[in-house]
Amino acid sequence: MRGFHGSQNRSRAPKDLGEPPDPSRRLVVMLGGAVAAAGVLGWRLFNWHVQQSAELSARGASSLLIRSEITPRRGSILDRDEAVLAISRGAVRVVADPLAIHESTDPFEVADRLSGILNLDAAGVAERLGNPNLRYSEIARGLVDEPARAVSEAIQSGQLPGIRLDPDRVRVYPNQELAAHVLGFVGEGTARPGDVVGQAGVEAWYNDVLGGQSGLVSSDLDRLGRRIPIGRYALQPPRHGAHVSLSIDRTIQHIAEQELEAAIEQFGATAGTILITNPRTGELLGLANRPTYDPGRVHTYREFGPEFANRACNLIYEPGSTFKLITMAAGLDVGAIRPETTHNLPGTVDYFGQEFKNWDERTYPEQTMVSVLQHSSNTGTIFVADTIGANTFYEYIARFGFGARTGIDMAGEVSGIVRRRGDQGWFLPDLASNSFGQGISVTPLQLATAVGSIANDGVMMRPHVAREVQHADGRREKIESEPIRRVVSRETAQTLIKMMEAAESGVLDNLARVPGYRTAGKTGTSEIASSGRFLEDTSIASYIGFGPLELPQVLALVIVERPQAAFFGAHVASPTFSRVMSRVFAHLRVPPR
């Protein structure tokens, strides 16, 4: 610096060879030079600061401090082996500064150029640019690839004054429709326009975990919406969302969806559900519904139709004969019956003035309780419920979880409909019809959870779909399986399983058999009511079962709605159950017996 060098230009004392130099005098001279140099430097820095402040002050009249939200990365959703089911990808949003546009150019010209690049309605874009009192107006979000590049190039070339690109995220579902009703989808929230929130399934239930927390960037922009390099700038980074790992097995999910599609096509059905769980943990291994949707293309659907319904959680239906397992479990648990208890199974019975029939209207004299299951006798099941008594029967229905939500970690679950003794509209004949699954409405998930407790030695596990939360800071939070309660004794559960296996072994053409494995289950055929009457030749065909019986680890419920080529669960749902279980056992490497 010139000030420092100038301080060296001082007179020197003549050398005195006979006397050493004085150190204190040298120090004084050096300090004096340093002070002079510092003074010159400070003066120059002061002048520079004043000049820069003047420039910024002059520029401030045409600039504004803009605060922009930084969208956090939404956490991914993974299957149990950490295969990606949903992921957020970097994108941009197009933002306009209407005031800057009005002050620098014709808003309609900007609207025409921008709408041409983005293939948007020019009038709609012009409307968003129309208010000159605004400094922020969002035009589009979630831009990736070519559209994002095209807008960026137009901004850089000066064709879009007052337009800028802000960071954004877009949700991608790489497997399209796979596990759509488990995953759910995202959309704009209601609190603030542009907020992306989960609106169904896991996306909704774990929205706060997946969503993270937004960041904030503040910077000075000029009249054209460009950042001023020497202006103010502050950054508060976002806190990114956590990843959620599910209990869903992608291979098992594929099996469920493929077999459901095949059954619907084979029998000309309109809809269906396959639910696969681990009854010992409550984990959901696979869930397929038809009709279905693509969660990554929700914006292309004109309305939310039946394809968006998670039938496993919010479809209520009459379970039919699959419910006989619940009645039989209650009878065994209270000691009202034993497997060898015998009873005449008349083809028709009058119960408090209402007539009930067996599905085949046949009479089976002196039959054991195993035969009640084997013949799927309505009148035999009525006998069990009547022996138990109404109060105890409905107590067990509640213990098995019917009439209440299971508490699964997916949005949209309903509780079903159960009318108990003493409720308005309940009559004594309802005990008879409820005993074999009529006049009571349940969800597929409720039935799977209830029968799962039988497979699990009488202990009901809370169904769940999440296994682990992987936080952005590296922490891993395990989601433990949760026992809800003991529903029946271990002895009751094991006795009923033996009865189920014996009943099915007596059926010569049992299409539910799984070659090489011991399984147990029950068919169901429900009629569909409309306007107070049952529709002819229309049914809901179902089968629920589990295995291998040595240590049950897989339970499957198959429901096929309105099949045309067949009617009964034994013909429609049973063969689908057999194929599903065979493939799942092979995938899990469960050794055959």
Annotated domain spans of the chain: 250-588
Tell me the one-letter amino acid at 242.
A
Beta bridge partners of 290: 272
Hunting for tokens 């039946």 — which residue is that?
Answer: 306
238-257 pLDDT, tens digit per residue, is 889 999 999 999 999 999 99
Report yes or no: 277 and 284 within 8 Å, Cβ to Cβ. yes
Distance set, CA 125 to CA 91, 139, 250, 519 (Å): 20, 7, 42, 62
**Could you tell me what percentage of the chain is helix, strand and coil, using 3-state DSSP and rounding each to the nearest 5?**
40, 25, 35
Q: At 227, is the pLDDT very low, low, confident or very high (cuts 50, 70, 90)?
A: low
305-344 pLDDT, tens digit per residue, is 999 999 999 989 999 999 999 999 999 999 999 999 999 9
**Could you give the CA distance from residue 49 to residue 432 in angstroms, rounded to a whole number?**
92
Which pLDDT value is given to residue 48?
A: 37
Report yes or no: 412 and 313 within 8 Å, Cβ to Cβ. yes
Distance set, CA 520 to CA 154, 197, 451 (Å): 66, 42, 11
CA 92 remoteness from chain centre? 25
Q: At 501, is the pLDDT very low, low, confident or very high (cuts 50, 70, 90)?
A: very high
Which pLDDT value is given to residue 302?
A: 80
Tell me the one-letter amino acid at 420.
R
Distance set, CA 528 to CA 311, 427, 566 (Å): 16, 21, 15
537-591 pLDDT, tens digit per residue, is 789 999 999 999 999 999 999 999 999 988 899 999 999 999 999 999 999 999 9
What is the percent of the chain with per-residue pLDDT over 90, rounded to a whole number? 71
Residue 548, preceding peptide bond in cis (omega within 30° of 0): yes
Report yes or no: 118 and 151 within 8 Å, Cβ to Cβ. yes
Closest CA to 179 of 82, 284, 282: 284
Closest CA to 561 of 261, 258, 269, 265: 269
Radius of gyration of the chain, Cα coordinates, nearest whole angstrom: 37
Name the residue with higher pLDDT: 574 or 59: 574
Closest CA to 327 of 419, 436, 441, 453: 436
Count of Cβ atoms closer than 10 Å to residue 474 Cβ? 6
Tell me whether strands 243-246 and 77-78 are parallel, antiparallel or unpaired: parallel
Q: Residue 525 class from Cβ within 10 Å (0-12 exposed, 13-18 middle, 19+ buried)?
A: buried
**What are phi and psi for residue 367, nearest 5 degrees?**
-110, 145
Which pLDDT value is given to residue 63?
A: 57
**Could you give the CA distance from residue 331 to residue 395 in angstroms, rounded to a whole number?**
12
pTM score > 0.85 for this model? no
How large is the average pLDDT for residues 407-420?
Answer: 95
86-132 pLDDT, tens digit per residue, is 999 888 999 999 999 998 899 999 999 999 999 999 999 999 998 98
**What are phi and psi for residue 37, nearest 5 degrees?**
-65, -45
Helix (H, G, I), strand (E, B) or coil at 127: helix
Report yes or no: 330 and 337 within 8 Å, Cβ to Cβ. no
**What are phi and psi for residue 227, nearest 5 degrees?**
-70, 135
Hunting for tokens 């009943």 — which residue is that?
Answer: 503
Contact partners, residue 524, CB within 8 Å, separation at least 6 = 319, 320, 321, 322, 323, 437, 540, 541, 542, 543, 544, 569, 573
Longest dimension (CA), the chain: 142
The two structure tokens encoding residue 151: 């807008």
Name the residue with higher pLDDT: 221 or 357: 357
Q: Is the dihedral of CA 174, 179, 183, 187 positive or negative?
A: positive
Continuous H helices in 61-131: 98-104, 107-118, 122-129
Which pLDDT value is given to residue 194?
A: 56
Q: Regarding the domain delimited by 250-588, which CATH topology (the fold level of the hierarchy) does it fall under? A: Beta-lactamase (3.40.710)
State the helix-helix crossing angle for 324-333 and 390-399, rounded to 10 degrees: 110
The two structure tokens encoding residue 204: 């909704």
Helices (H) and strands (E) in the chain, counts: 19, 23
Q: Is the dihedral of CA 389, 391, 392, 393 positive or negative?
A: positive
Hunting for tokens 């001023």 — which residue is that?
Answer: 228
